[in-house]
Structure formats: structure tokens, C-alpha cells
């Protein structure tokens, strides 16, 4: 699950190069809106008016997911096609372009996807888009063990690192490319027996596709959820859901919360405080020992994470909650979870920075802390896929800055070019080798020159990295970490 940046209008819109949006100022014509049954129905598609991040009107194509009537006025829940689901919303009749409405096609049976039931019969035909990034044979891929060295190129490069040609890397190790976000509509060949939190999207239905919580009050913040979360049904009708910011228990009203606070003696997350520097602390929480807190944390996190599912069995997981301290206590900023035993080298299952704390460097701090734990454990790690779109951006940024920091810190010995291997970068940073290679390719650093793979750091790359590091004020201090890894293979430790 992901750092997620602040929800701004237009965030999550489609990438450049995709099909253009429906634009223009159409005028609603109520007569054109009627279906053969005389009303707009679920499954219809039509342009809907919305404001983008530049505060301009646009008319993207949207699908009607639900219709409700409040005091004689109809509201329509719409999903903007090719936009992130966090932008879904209830709209009024006036914002619909009824002249371009597409009614759902009638089908005799519920459509299936790979043999499994679809989410709704009668929706307009959807083309499942699968984007597969193939590593071209011409794309240089350095060996993992061959040494690398500095190499000048046309006088424009400040530093370059070269690696001898070695065995080719498999084309599927770009596990964090942007297109991996679309991998969620693939059906796994067999269920995983571990505690994976990846959502099987094949079983999505109309209920889980819609936000069900209007607003959450958490301490001094009010949060607008982005996605569905399985809170009890009776709470979904409330205008505001009140949460205790220390134990995360939920209440129906402010009075219920105030009554709870007189009894709740927690002023920090349960579990062990394993890191503190300044006002920032990290608490390690065992999903088995603190089941109620862990489940409440998952419920809250699901409001802002779409690609993960909720497991009420939190026993296989550890939760690392980051807090900010003041005179009232330790306030939750974000968290990540990880499996106690991961057979696939995952060091993060879900990761989230709460919206009020986004775009302030806390996401990278969470990621850095997860890799700091991996260093203490003597392992390399990678986040569980798929990442959210915003999580992918955060991880790419962290990987890029961390790897560039290593490359720029290399020093020559005896006048020779400094050398380093992919394996050495992975061991120093605890970043999995596949993520190191995909990051080098993403930065376009790899070149082939005179039989060698050269990693060229241009002036633009170096200057951009130095500017970014000046802004990155929050860093993990390994001296402040007090953490002893456990051998979870021994069931008695659970």
C-alpha cells in the first residue's frame, strides 16, 4: 500500500498519450436522458462536468455506478473512465451531458472474466487493457556481479559507472513499472498461502467500487476517504465517523467519542517504541498480540488504499506506525505492514501516509525505515505489488535518490575509475537487485560503450539529485533505532 500524495483536484487523471477526454460545454437535455424504461440507469456512460487541477471545466466520460433519491432530488454516483477511483463522486443531474449518453447493452447472463463472475451485468462493453513492458534486446542490462568503473563521455558527463557484459536479466523483473498498476485485473493461478494483502479484483462488486464513508474525524483532522472500507453498515449512513486517534476505535457521534476518551488511557499506539528522534517515533505492533488495534488500523487504511484487501486475520503481520509527538500524545502520521515470514522478500505489504501529512517527506521516511529494518535483518527487500500510482512515485523517487547517492559517493583509487557491482549496491542499500536494475533503466543511465555497460551520470542528473536532496530534510538516523529481529519461522514466537 503507498505513499500517497495529497488529494488535489485532478490528481489521478490519465497519463499523457491516452485517449482524450470528452470536452466542451454541452447543455443538459432532460428529454435525451430517458432510457427505454424512462430513467437514467446504472451502467450508463456519458460525459460529466468536473473541475480539473487547473480549476478548469472539463467533461470526461464517466459511468453511472449508482442512483439515489434524496428528498425528491436524484443523485448519481459516477466513476470517471481512466481516472483513479479516488475521484469518484456523487453528482447532480445538472452536471450530466445527456445528449451523449450510452445505455448499457443487454446481456442474457452476467459477463464473466476468466471464468469468474463480473461486477455487473449490462455494463457497456469494457476492453481489458493489459500493458506489458518488454525489455528490448537493445536495452543494456548490466551484470549483477561485474565491477563498474568511471568513464568520461563527450566531456558532458560528470561521472559514469561501467559494468562488464554478463547474463541477461529476465524481462519481467521490472516489477514496479507504472503499468504494473494494471496488473490487478489478472487472476492468480493459485491462491497464495501467505498473508498477502493484494486484492483479488476479480470479485469486485458494485458495493466495494463505491466510497461508503462520507467523512472521518481523527484527532484534529477531518479526512475525506478515497475508497470503500468495510466498516459496519450502520456507520456508513453517518455524515461523520469519529475515531479515537490513539486506539483507532470508531464511534457513531462526537458524544460517543468523548465518552470513550474518558476511559481510553492510550496516548500512543500499543506495542514497542523502536525508534525516536525529535518528535518522530516508530512503534512495532504485533498483529496477533494487538489484534483489535491492527484491525482498526486496516479499516482506516483501506479508506485510502485501493489495491489491497482487508484481512481480519492480522496474526501473520507486523505493523510499524509512525507518530508525531506533542503535549497531548503520539499522533499517527502513517504506517506500513509486513509479513512476519515472506517467501518473496517483501519488506512491505501495505504502506500509507495519511492525507494531512502527505507531501511533507513522511512517505520517503516510511520507505527509508522499512529498508533500515531490512539492513538490520541482513536481507534485501521489495514492496508487495501492485503499488498504487502514488506509492509507485514515492518508491521510484526513493530508489533513485538512494542509488544516485551511492554512485556519487564513489571515490577513485590510485587514479583508476571507482568500481561497484549491482550486487554491491543491493547489499549496501538492501534494495532488491531487480529494483536496482529497473531504477537504473528508468533513469536512463545505462549505455553500451566499447563492450562495456556504462552508467552515465550527466550534469542534469547530478544537479537534479543535489536539488532534491536539499529538500529532503527528514532522514532516518540508524543510531536511534533499537530493533532486534526475531526468527518467525519458530511458531512459538507468534
Q: In a 10 Å sphere around its CB, with 0-12 CB exposed, 13-18 middle and 19+ buried, how is residue 172 labelled?
A: exposed
- Quote the CA–CA distance of 176 and 464 in Å, as a whole number: 22
Q: Which residue has the cell 536479466?
A: 169
Catalytic residue among 58, 339, 384, 434: 384
Residues facing residue 66 across a β-bridge:
77
- 456's enclosing H/E stretch is strand 452-458
The three cell numbers locating residue 180: 504494473
| Cβ atoms 191, 338 nearer than 8 A | no
- Quote the CA–CA distance of 115 and 203 in Å, as a whole number: 11
| Cβ atoms 384, 299 nearer than 8 A | no
| Cβ atoms 111, 378 nearer than 8 A | no
β-strands 317-326, 280-286 pairing: antiparallel
β-strands 241-243, 216-218 pairing: parallel
Q: If you write DSSP's letter for every residue of 195-247 in order, what string do you get?
A: ---B--GGG--TTTTS-----EEETTEEE---S-----GGGTTSS-EEE-TTT
Side-chain-facing half-sphere of 449: CA atoms under 13 Å = 17
| Cβ atoms 109, 120 nearer than 8 A | no
Helix, strand and coil content of the chain, in percent to the nearest 5, comes to 25, 25, 50
∠3-334-321 over CA atoms, to 5°? 130
383, 359, 10: which is closest to 175 by C-alpha? 383
| Cβ atoms 314, 287 nearer than 8 A | yes
∠408-412-414 over CA atoms, to 5°? 175
Residues facing residue 332 across a β-bridge:
323
- Quote the CA–CA distance of 384 and 348 in Å, as a whole number: 6
Active site residue 384: yes
| Cβ atoms 49, 95 nearer than 8 A | yes
- Quote the CA–CA distance of 363 and 354 in Å, as a whole number: 9
Q: What are phi and psi of 75, to 5 degrees?
A: -120, 145
| Cβ atoms 176, 395 nearer than 8 A | yes
**Residues forming the active site:** 384
Amino acid at each position: 500500500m503507498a505513499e500517497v500524495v495529497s488529494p488535489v483536484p485532478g490528481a489521478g487523471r490519465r497519463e499523457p498519450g491516452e485517449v482524450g477526454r470528452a470536452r466542451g460545454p454541452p447543455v443538459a437535455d432532460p428529454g435525451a436522458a430517458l432510457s427505454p424504461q424512462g430513467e437514467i440507469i446504472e451502467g450508463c456512460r456519458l460525459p460529466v462536468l468536473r473541475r480539473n487541477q487547473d480549476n478548469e471545466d472539463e467533461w470526461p466520460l464517466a459511468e453511472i455506478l449508482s442512483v439515489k433519491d434524496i428528498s425528491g432530488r436524484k443523485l448519481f454516483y459516477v466513476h470517471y473512465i481512466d481516472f483513479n477511483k479516488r475521484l469518484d463522486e456523487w453528482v447532480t443531474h445538472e452536471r450530466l451531458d445527456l445528449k451523449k449518453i450510452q445505455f448499457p447493452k443487454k446481456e442474457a447472463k452476467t459477463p464473466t472474466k476468466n471464468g469468474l463472475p463480473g461486477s455487473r451485468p449490462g455494463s457497456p462493453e469494457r476492453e481489458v487493457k493489459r500493458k506489458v513492458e518488454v525489455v528490448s534486446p537493445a536495452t543494456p542490462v548490466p551484470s549483477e556481479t561485474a565491477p563498474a568503473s568511471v568513464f568520461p563521455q563527450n566531456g558532458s558527463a560528470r561521472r559514469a559507472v561501467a559494468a562488464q557484459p554478463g547474463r541477461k536479466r529476465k524481462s519481467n523483473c521490472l516489477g514496479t513499472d507504472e503499468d504494473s498498476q494494471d496488473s490487478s485485473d489478472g487472476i492468480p493461478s493459485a491462491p497464495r498461502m501467505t498473508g498477502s494483502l493484494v486484492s483479488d479484483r476479480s470479485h469486485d462488486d458494485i458495493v466495494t467500487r463505491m466510497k461508503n464513508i462520507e467523512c472521518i474525524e481523527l484527532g484534529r483532522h477531518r479526512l475525506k476517504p478515497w475508497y470503500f472500507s468495510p466498516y459496519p453498515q450502520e456507520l456508513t449512513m453517518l455524515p461523520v465517523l469519529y475515531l479515537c486517534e490513539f486506539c483507532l476505535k470508531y464511534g457513531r457521534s462526537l458524544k460517543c467519542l468523548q465518552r470513550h476518551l474518558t476511559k481510553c488511557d492510550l496516548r500512543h499506539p500499543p506495542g514497542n517504541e523502536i525508534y525516536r528522534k525529535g518528535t518522530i517515533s516508530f512503534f512495532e505492533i504485533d498483529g496477533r498480540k494487538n489484534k483489535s488495534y491492527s484491525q482498526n488500523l486496516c479499516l482506516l487504511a483501506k479508506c485510502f488504499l485501493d489495491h489491497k484487501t482487508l484481512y481480519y486475520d492480522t496474526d501473520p503481520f507486523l505493523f510499524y506506525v509512525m507518530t508525531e509527538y506533542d503535549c497531548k500524545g503520539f499522533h499517527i502520521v502513517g504506517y506500513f505492514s509486513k509479513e512476519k515470514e515472506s517467501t518473496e522478500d517483501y519488506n512491505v505489504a501495505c504502506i500509507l501516509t495519511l492525507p494531512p501529512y502527505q507531501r511533507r517527506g513522511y512517505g520517503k521516511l516510511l520507505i527509508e525505515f522499512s529498508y533500515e529494518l531490512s539492513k538490520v535483518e541482513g536481507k534485501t527487500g521489495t514492496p508487495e505489488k501492485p503499488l498504487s500510482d502514488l506509492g509507485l512515485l514515492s518508491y521510484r523517487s526513493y530508489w533513485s535518490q538512494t542509488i544516485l547517492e551511492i554512485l556519487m559517493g564513489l571515490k577513485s583509487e590510485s587514479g583508476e575509475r571507482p568500481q561497484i557491482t549491482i550486487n554491491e549496491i543491493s547489499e549496501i542499500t538492501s534494495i532488491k537487485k531487480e529494483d536496482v536494475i529497473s531504477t537504473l533503466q528508468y533513469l536512463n543511465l545505462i549505455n553500451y560503450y566499447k563492450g562495456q555497460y556504462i552508467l552515465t551520470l550527466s550534469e542534469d542528473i547530478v544537479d537534479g539529485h543535489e536539488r532534491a536532496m536539499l529538500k529532503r530534510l527528514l532522514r532516518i538516523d540508524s543510531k536511534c533505532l533499537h530493533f532486534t529481529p526475531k526468527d518467525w519461522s519458530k511458531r512459538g514466537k507468534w
